[in-house]
Amino acid sequence: MKMLYSGKAKEIYDIGEDGHILVKFKDDITAGNGKKHSVLEGKGKLSNSANRIFFNLISDVPNHYVRDYDETSFVAKKMKMLPLEVVMRNYTAGSFCRRYGVKRGIKLKEPLFELFLKDDSLGDPLICEDTVISLNITDKHTISRIHEHTLEINRILSEFLSKHAILLVDFKLEFGFGEDGELLVGDEITPDTCRFWDAETKESLDKDVYRRSIADPREVYRVLLDRIEG
């Protein structure tokens, strides 16, 4: 299969099907805009398993997931991506705490919708909706549909995870358009792109353990999967 693109954590292949591509999770993990990097055997398989579960759960929200392929990859719809990182937060953490000088773990009054410009060379800056519109990245109506889809995904995932005593602290989505122009959720939904905390101990079951050098991420990804699969 011909590789079309290799990113920090995934590779894209031409699968020879009209309108479809293959997305393969690598064993690579990065943090801090690629400053920290490791290759952890078996990590791609864990990400793919989590991604499969989460895309299955949100199947009513238009998205790119077509079907399972193998242990580390899935078939997806070809998309034209928007250069945005869409973040929703239920509790304070990460860049939100650094930006506003607030403590970690405070429950926000409402799920907060934030947009970031996807540009590594600029460090993915926060961008407001009016700027997105002024720069002609996308229009107001599309932003409001992205907001609605993100709220729906937050509702589905939070409800599912709470049954397993896990808090969905925040998560990042990427959106784009399928070949027929339909707005779709793309990219991945994994512990690399979400924050999950044990509801009781508040321990991280996500990439924060790697960002903060607390544990081998594979160990906590396994714990997460054992809890949500079981």
96 binds ligand UDP (CB under 6 A): yes
- The answer to whether 195 contacts ligand UDP (rule: CB under 6 A) is yes
Q: Please check whether residue 192 is in contact with residue 98, taking contact to mean a CB–CB distance below 8 angstroms.
A: no
Question: From residue 216, how far is each of 24, 48, 83, 159, 222 by CA, in Å?
Answer: 21, 17, 31, 27, 10
Q: Which stretch binds ligand UDP (CB under 6 A): 6-14, 55-63, 86-94, 219-227?
A: 86-94
Closer Cβ to ligand UDP, 15 or 46, answer by number: 46
**Judged by CB under 6 A, which stretch of 10-18, 20-28, 58-66, 91-99 contacts ligand UDP?**
91-99
Please report how close the Cβ of residue 47 comes to ligand UDP at its closest, in angstroms. Answer: 12
* 146 touches ligand UDP by CB under 6 A: no
Q: Which residues, 27 to 66, sit near ligand UDP by CB under 6 A?
A: none
CB of 196 to ligand UDP, least distance (A): 9
Q: 38-46: long-range contacts (C-beta < 8 A, 24 or more apart)?
A: 38/210, 40/216, 40/217, 40/218, 42/218, 43/217, 43/218, 43/221, 44/72, 45/71, 45/72, 46/191, 46/218, 46/221, 46/222, 46/225
* 124 binds ligand UDP per the rule CB under 6 A: yes
Least distance from C-beta 74 to ligand UDP, angstroms?
Answer: 18
DSSP codes of every residue in 55-112: HHHTTTS-BSEEEEEETTEEEEE-EEE-SEEEEEEEE--HHHHHHHT--TTPEEEEEE
Q: Does 25 bind ligand UDP (CB under 6 A)?
A: no
Residue 115 Cβ vs ligand UDP, minimum distance, rounded to whole Å: 11
183 lies in the site for ligand UDP, by CB under 6 A: no
93 binds ligand UDP (CB under 6 A): yes
